[in-house]
Amino acid sequence: MKNHFIIATFISISLSISIGQCTFSPSNTWAVLVDTSRFWFNYRHVGNVLSIYHSIKRLGMPDSHIILMIADEMACNARNPRPATIFDNAAEKTNLYGDTVEVDYGGYEVTVENFIRLLTGRHVPGTAPSKRLLTDDQSNILIYITGHGGDGFVKFQDNEEVSSQELADAFEQMWQKRRYREILFIVDSCQAYSMALPVYSPNILALGSSRVGEDSLSHHVDPKLGVYVADRYSYYLLQFLEKVGPTSRHTLADFLGVCPYHECLSHVTAKLDLYNRDPAQVSVLEFFGSRRSVEILDDAANFTAAPDVSAAADAAYASASTASHPVYLAYKPLFP
């Protein structure tokens, strides 16, 4: 027996809202967080990058604006006595590798080629949107790299390197292609400041956790894991970010004071000549968070409906009440 369908088409409701003038400006802040190291003894680098990841998410940056690159699965390593966990502190209070972590590039996907393609937007066909940095000329971008480095390079996967000049040229491509407004570039590695020296594109504040010729040191060991769980600069950067809230007035000048020599045992050094704003006048949330400004002016809100909507609804209900077969009601979309 065939099913018969009574289709009651509801006339769409006309919704009219007038609240004066409303300005809604979503933040255009992005982050690229990169752990470049493999092998269990580099556990701390995963802890570094995940601590920054959770901090900027807490400050409002959505996962859709964060590209997270982790070179090794420390949480699943056979040496890990606490499977599926990553900690950046020997107290092991917070598992950084929880259910909310979204890794965009993992394992052997973390390569120099993929990193440069990500920055410049020159992806191979078919690359998923979640693996793309979808920025524009109004975007502020935080780029944070942690791993092993030397004079003018950072190692990837312990078998290749990205040079400081390659990275400087990638930034210039980004500028020419209008892919950023400002960049905050942080490297936590040995001789980290060497990665900033060749940078020549405008509106970039670059910072290294150590000068050329200096090592960047680890902070402390977790005896239960048998490895260092944090580097000194990233450890104190996290302490700073934990004091920052959505309404904080901390500035980039405050950020530049993180980890003085007596804490880092290296000289944290910043390259400021390409950055055209006073760091004391720039909120850290412009790079480490995301804010939305909403301005609402009081006025009337009017909700009006087409006069025959009620009659159409009554007719459809009456037909449904007397039907002895299945009834399917089709609704016309309010906003097609």
What pLDDT digit, counting tens, does each position of 253-290 carry?
999 999 999 999 999 999 999 999 999 999 999 999 98
Considering 190, 219, 259, 264, which one is annotated as catalytic? Answer: 190
Residue type, 116: I
Quick check: 130 pLDDT over 70? yes
Supply the pLDDT for residue 298: 62
Closest by CA to 160, choosing from 120, 118, 116, 111, is 111
Residue 295 reports pLDDT greater than 90: no
pLDDT of 25 over the 50 cut: no
pLDDT at 315: 60
* 290-to-26, 61, 63, 296 alpha-carbon distances in Å: 8, 5, 11, 20
Of the pLDDT bands very low, low, confident and very high (cuts 50, 70, 90), residue 5 is very low
Phi then psi dihedrals of residue 214, to 5 deg: -105, 150
The answer on pLDDT for 326 being more than 60 is no
Q: How far is CA 80 from the centre of its chain?
A: 27
For the question of residue 190 being annotated catalytic, the response is yes
CA-closest candidate to residue 41, choices 80, 91, 15? 80
Beta strands at 204-208 and 269-271: parallel, antiparallel or unpaired: antiparallel
In angstroms, the Cα distances linking 60 to 143, 242, 245, 313 are 17, 13, 10, 43
The structure tokens listed for 229 are 């769980």
- Sequence-distant (6+) residues with CB within 8 A of 74 are 40, 43, 46, 80, 86
pLDDT at 1 exceeding the cut of 50: no
User: Which of 267, 239, 217 has the alpha carbon at shortest distance from 88?
Assistant: 239
Cβ contact 265:218 at 8 Å? no
HSE, CB side, 13 Å, CA atoms: give it for residue 258.
Answer: 27
Please classify residue 40 by burial: count the beta carbons closer than 10 Å to its beta carbon, then call 0-12 exposed, 13-18 middle and 19+ buried: middle
Catalytic site includes residue 325: no
What percent of the chain lies above the pLDDT cut of 90?
A: 76
Give CA–CA dist 184/196, Å, rounded: 11
**153-203 residue pLDDT tens:** 999 999 999 999 999 999 999 999 999 999 999 999 999 999 999 999 999
Query: What top-level class would CATH report for the domain 29-286?
Result: alpha beta
The catalytically annotated residue of 54, 148, 250, 267 is 148
DSSP 136: -
Residues 48 and 219: beta-carbon distance below 8 Å = no
Which pLDDT belongs to residue 296? 59
pLDDT of residue 269: 98
Q: What is the pLDDT of residues 77-117, one digit of tens each?
A: 999 999 999 999 999 989 999 888 999 999 999 999 999 99
**pLDDT band at 294, cuts 50/70/90?**
low
Contacts for 173 with CB less than 8 Å, ≥ 6 apart: 119, 120
- d(C-alpha 173, C-alpha 167), whole Å: 10
Domain ranges in the chain?
Answer: 29-286
pLDDT digits (tens, 9 = 90+) for 211-231: 999 999 999 999 999 999 999
Cα separation, 186 vs 192, in Å, equals: 9
